[in-house]
A and B are shown apart, each in its own frame.
Chain A
Amino acid sequence: MLVAHYTLRAHRAAWLLGAGEDADDVVQEAFVKAFRSLPKFRAGEPFAPWLLSIVANETKNLLRSRHRRDALALRLSALAPGAAAPDIPFDAAVAGERRARLLAAVNELPDRERQALVCRYFLDLSEAETAQVLHWPLGSVKSRTSRALGRLRGLVTPEDQGRVLHG
């Protein structure tokens, strides 16, 4: 069950970091590399960020080998998630439109800034974990996240800003 759990997280990370249809292969390669290099893994260290750092590296290699500068654009699911926000029907359409606009804005971000947001908010990693996963200094995580959020604010149209405050 724990391996299944890690597979889902690893796959989600690979997909959201831009591996697209190759996410499954990235995960397989990451697992094999992780298991082979387990002796380098320090006991007591959380396993997930360490595994995800290998996933992120494999994804980067994949994108490089494909000569693909840009990761694939993220999409919204056609299906509502199981733990959907309690949207009342009247607001549902507005909320859907808002999500689409926000994600479009995320897709417009420069790669590294998008990666920072993906790790921090879509993979729910801390700043320190993001630094480990993306092999960046902690300061870069902070500055890129901050810059990305600043850009998103700019991409969200002014009349939305009141709505943003309501989250």
Chain B
Amino acid sequence: MAESAEPPRAPQWRDALVPELRALSPWLDVPPAADQAATVRQRLEAQQNPQTRQRPQARTRPIARWRTRVLYPRWRAALIAALTILALAVAIPQSRAVIVHVLRLDGVELRQAPGPSPVPHPSLPGQQRMSLEQARQHAAFPILVPATLGQPSAVTVSDRGRVATLIYDRTPYGQVRLDEFDGHLDQVYFEKFVQVGNVTEIKVSGEKGLWVTGPQEVVYVRSDGMIVQASARLTTGSTLIWGTPRVALRLEGGFSKAAALAVAGSVR
């Protein structure tokens, strides 16, 4: 009797059942997921370089899975994940926004593709040379200075305070360049054009960073997402990319990885 008095679709019981279903969700038995990044990367690369294509990875063969797990133990998962994104970038040059969404490398986007040709005298838009003190007033964020490199030989602020650049001439590193930009903004400031094998993920003062070896093409990206051709240049050496909560940095020069990390660890 009580049952029939109740409306058949009373929101009351439905409102109670839905949270109970949601609460059931974390209790469901779902086994751990295998790390697929390495295999996915291999398959995308095989697609990208048909001349070096090998037997495609078996899709549902236990052996393929077994091999993946043996070759790529868990501790390399993070690195492989980063490399997969680069492989991803290979396949889809036109969907930059997607890569940014996935990657968020402290304002630097990595792409495996031929970059724009370097220009003879590359410069950033609105680039102005000034003293460090002046630069601190003009930049839209607090400028960090690596203590180990001493006084910069030149300081520039570009694009109305969006980027600050410190230049050093330091033996034995050659010309050292430190670009800084707003780290907390989810924007792209630079695009680098790299080979997957040249990129490794490392920890910089406990935070995620990327170490990119060898000269690569790099180009500045304006806040509206447009590439600035006049900024296209070749890097002088290897690059370390990392960020603090407020500032993102890219350090470029003839460094070993250890030397670059030491410089990065000394920024104040």
Contact = CB atoms under 8 A, between A and B. Distances in A.
A39 B95 contact: yes
Interface string B22-50: 11111111110111110110011001000
Contacts of A43: 95-98
A165 B97 CA distance: 45
Contacts of B33: 7-8, 10-12, 23-24, 27
Given A15-B31, A28-B59, A117 B21 contact: yes
Query: In which size bucket is the chain B interface?
Result: 35 or more
B26 to A, nearest CB: 4
A149 B9 CA distance: 10
Interface in A49-97: 74-78, 80-85
Contact of B22 (A25, A77, A121, A152): A121
Contact of B91 (A38, A77, A150, A161): A38
A84 B35 CA distance: 26
Interface residues of A, number: 59
Given A84-B26, A85-B23, A24 B98 contact: no
Nearest to A161: B13
B40 A12 contact: no
Interface of B: 3, 8-9, 12-14, 16-31, 33-37, 39-40, 43-44, 47, 57, 59-60, 65, 77-78, 81, 84-85, 87-88, 91-92, 94-98, 101-104, 208
Interface of A: 1-4, 7-8, 10-12, 15-16, 22-25, 27-29, 31-32, 35-36, 38-39, 41, 43-44, 47, 74-78, 80-85, 99, 102-103, 106, 117, 121-122, 124, 146, 149-150, 152-153, 156, 158, 161, 164-167
15 contacts: A3-B81, A3-B85, A7-B37, A25-B59, A25-B65, A32-B43, A38-B98, A39-B94, A41-B95, A121-B18, A121-B24, A150-B8, A165-B16, A166-B16, A167-B19
Given A11-B33, A122-B28, 10 more contacts: A2-B103, A3-B102, A16-B28, A24-B33, A24-B65, A27-B36, A39-B94, A82-B26, A164-B16, A167-B19
